[in-house]
């Protein structure tokens, strides 16, 4: 694996993991009213397009980190649904 590939993977991991603090906060407080549903839907559309792009370019870093992002965004959407009545 070349340096640029490692750099792409590290960059993807950094941006992908940025949602983890929001997930942790939501689970701890059991509230998600301030979480924007629209933002996560838009993020998932964007991540899905990146996955398609990554597959078409055979780029492991783009494909894998965006698949992980989709999973984390889905987790946040599920939490938003679970805690929808908690204020």
Query: What does DSSP assign to residue 35?
Result: S
Per-position pLDDT tens, the chain of length 87: 799 989 999 999 999 999 999 999 999 999 998 889 999 999 999 999 999 999 999 999 999 999 999 999 999 999 999 998 887
Task: For residue 31, give Cα distances in angstroms to 49, 84, 87.
Answer: 30, 7, 6
| pLDDT at residue 86, as a whole number | 80
| pLDDT at residue 79, as a whole number | 96
| pLDDT at residue 25, as a whole number | 95
- Cα separation, 46 vs 53, in Å, equals 10
Q: How many CB atoms lie within 10 A of CB 7?
A: 11
| pLDDT at residue 44, as a whole number | 95
| pLDDT at residue 60, as a whole number | 92
């Amino acid at each position: 694996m070349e340096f640029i590939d490692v750099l792409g993977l590290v960059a993807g991991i950094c941006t992908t993991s940025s949602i983890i603090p929001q997930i942790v906060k939501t689970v701890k407080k059991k509230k998600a009213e301030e979480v924007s549903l629209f933002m996560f839907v838009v993020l998932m559309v964007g991540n899905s397009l990146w996955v398609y792009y990554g597959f078409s370019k055979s780029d492991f870093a783009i494909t894998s980190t965006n698949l992980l992002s989709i999973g984390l965004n889905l987790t946040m959407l599920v939490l938003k649904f679970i805690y929808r009545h908690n204020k």
